[in-house]
Amino acid sequence: MSRPETDEERPTGYRDLFVLVEYRAVFTASVLSWIGDYLCKAAVALLVYDRTGSALASAAAFALGYLPWLTAGPVLAALAERYPARTVMIWCDLVRAALIGLIAIPGVPVAVLLVLLFAAGLLAPPFDASRSAQLPHILTGERYALGLAFNNTVLHLAQIFGYAAGGAIAAYSPHLALLLNACTFIGSAYLLRRYVKHRPATLAATERTGLWRETKQGYTVVFGDPVMRAIAIIIFATVTFVVVPEGLAAAWAAELDGGGGAQGLIMAANPLGVVVGGLLLTRLLRQRTRIRLIRPLAILAPLTLAPAILDPPLAGVLLLVAGSGVVMSLLLPAAQTLFKDVLPTEYRARAFGVMNSGIQIAQGAAIVTTGALSERFSTSAVVGVWCAAGVLLMLLVTVRPLTRLS
């Protein structure tokens, strides 16, 4: 007769996450913010296009959300470390609600609208860095890895739902979509204030050395430790290749004679793969197993997309892109968990700010570069060769044996 499993032996499940009041609050607040962000992007893009009639102006308004990460992201993350994480998150939510509410006022000039949108975007880096620093206090052990994977899964579901709902609501009234976005930030602030514990700032006033120096310390911590440096390079390199189908979806769909419907399918394939992998596979694999898989998964991520060089039909393209999403659903939470384990507590917000900024920069650079290449070569060839080069890069990045990555 077999003995019953103890709590330590029993695999961690989603129930273990949601029994925690603080996690429920942070998770729900995050979902509200994510959906609100995508509502805002869809509404602003349509609003600017209606006002200007310019596709370029509309695209620029959509891409404006990346700019804060490319400019002040790490500095703002360092600033957030000087204050309690919950306080930073609440104030970021309230100020964003006010700024988006101003954008929602009919008749606001486009130039003012873009300035307000950029100002609201500046609050994303400190909010995200504070949330990342707060989460290890709430989730410990296997719960942390599972929580990251589940959050990543729901983020992609929110992306799909937010874009769809944002497009539908904005078609009726962009101003209504923006007001709903403002309300999501207010709801998020309420949940954080009501249910999340107040914890002191990780960087005491006596330890402050100047904002710029503290920002540089974040880079030093990430790239000075061999394990964290390896994880950072793996994550930055992986997203550089996996993001390409989303950025080239319109051109790829046109080459396949699929039109807007095919474009939407290509863009949705990766998030769908992340959702499937996050819900089905992450739950089945223990944390130690996922960490041991970091190296092969890092190589598999671009390898999954390399067959695009064979110019597959739409069904094949969707299968490749969804496959890359499944790989990412396992790779990112495992790498982030290992990163958290070796990261000193007092540098969490700054280090996560460096990582978030690096991901945004890598994605933007990859889309711009491959977009330029697609002007001269077929999209299938660009994706295939780009990701084949990614396989070679990942082989070089992961060749050095590091004890905590093996």
Report how far apart, in Å, the C-alpha atoms of 15 and of each of 6, 12, 20, 232 are.
16, 8, 9, 31
What does the pLDDT read at residue 400? Answer: 62
How sure is the predictor about 167, in pLDDT bands with cuts at 50, 70 and 90? low
Q: Is 289 part of any domain?
A: yes
- Pair 259, 166 in one domain: no
Q: Which of 93, 94, 102 is nearest to 44 (CA)?
A: 102
- Pair 233, 113 in one domain: no
Residue 252 predicted with pLDDT over 50: yes
What does the pLDDT read at residue 60? Answer: 65
- Pair 129, 176 in one domain: yes
CATH value at residue 319 = 1.20.1250.20
What does the pLDDT read at residue 23? Answer: 92
- Pair 274, 187 in one domain: no
Domain that holds residue 243: 217-406
Q: Is 118 part of any domain?
A: yes
The DSSP string of 78-144 is: HHHTTS-HHHHHHHHHHHHHHHHHHHTSTT--HHHHHHHHHHHHTTHHHHHHHHHHHHHHH--THHH
Alpha-carbon span 311 to 119, nearest angstrom = 42
What does the pLDDT read at residue 100? Answer: 92
pLDDT digits (tens, 9 = 90+) for 76-114: 777 777 888 899 999 999 999 999 999 888 888 888 888
- Total domains in the chain come to 2
Alpha-carbon span 39 to 130, nearest angstrom = 23
28 vs 248, higher pLDDT: 28
- Contact by Cβ (8 Å): 136, 340: yes
How sure is the predictor about 402, in pLDDT bands with cuts at 50, 70 and 90? very low
Q: Is 1 part of any domain?
A: no
What does the pLDDT read at residue 79? Answer: 74
**Amino acid, res. 173:** S
Q: Is 299 part of any domain?
A: yes
Report residue 38 CA to chain centroid gap: 13
Q: Is 207 part of any domain?
A: no
Residue 283 predicted with pLDDT over 70: no
Average pLDDT for 328-346: 81
R_g of the chain, CA atoms, integer Å: 21
What does the pLDDT read at residue 58? Answer: 62
Percent of the chain scoring above 70 in pLDDT: 86
pLDDT digits (tens, 9 = 90+) for 22-31: 999 999 998 8
- Contact by Cβ (8 Å): 331, 294: yes
Residue 1 predicted with pLDDT over 50: no
What does the pLDDT read at residue 14? Answer: 77
pLDDT digits (tens, 9 = 90+) for 291-316: 788 888 999 999 999 999 999 999 99
Dmax over CA atoms of the chain, in Å, equals 74
- Contact by Cβ (8 Å): 144, 136: yes
Residue 403 predicted with pLDDT over 60: no
What does the pLDDT read at residue 54? Answer: 66
The SS3 assignment for 190 reads helix
Most confident of 184-188, 282-286, 366-370: 184-188
What does the pLDDT read at residue 4? Answer: 46
Report how far apart, in Å, the C-alpha atoms of 19 and of each of 32, 70, 199, 364 are.
20, 37, 20, 38
Q: What angle do CA 30, 41, 58 make, to 5 degrees?
A: 165
How sure is the predictor about 206, in pLDDT bands with cuts at 50, 70 and 90? low
Average pLDDT, the chain: 81
- Pair 338, 406 in one domain: yes
Alpha-carbon span 101 to 55, nearest angstrom = 24
**Amino acid, res. 70:** L
91 vs 270, higher pLDDT: 91
Average pLDDT for 257-280: 77
Weakest-pLDDT range from 11-15, 80-84, 192-196: 11-15
- Pair 118, 266 in one domain: no
- Pair 335, 252 in one domain: yes
- Pair 189, 222 in one domain: no
Residue 161 predicted with pLDDT over 80: no
Average pLDDT for 263-278: 79
Residue 230 predicted with pLDDT over 80: yes
Q: Is 99 part of any domain?
A: yes
Q: Is 395 part of any domain?
A: yes
Alpha-carbon span 237 to 362, nearest angstrom = 7
**Amino acid, res. 27:** F
Domain stop point among 145, 164, 195: 195
- Pair 248, 189 in one domain: no
What does the pLDDT read at residue 340? Answer: 80
- Pair 402, 305 in one domain: yes
The pTM for the full model equals: 0.70
- Pair 191, 224 in one domain: no
25 vs 271, higher pLDDT: 25
- Pair 187, 235 in one domain: no
How sure is the predictor about 43, in pLDDT bands with cuts at 50, 70 and 90? confident
Q: Is 379 part of any domain?
A: yes
Average pLDDT for 144-167: 76
Cβ-based neighbours of 85, under 8 Å, separated by 6 or more: 130, 131, 133, 134, 199, 201, 202, 349
291 vs 189, higher pLDDT: 189
Weakest-pLDDT range from 29-43, 118-132, 270-284: 270-284
What does the pLDDT read at residue 7? Answer: 45
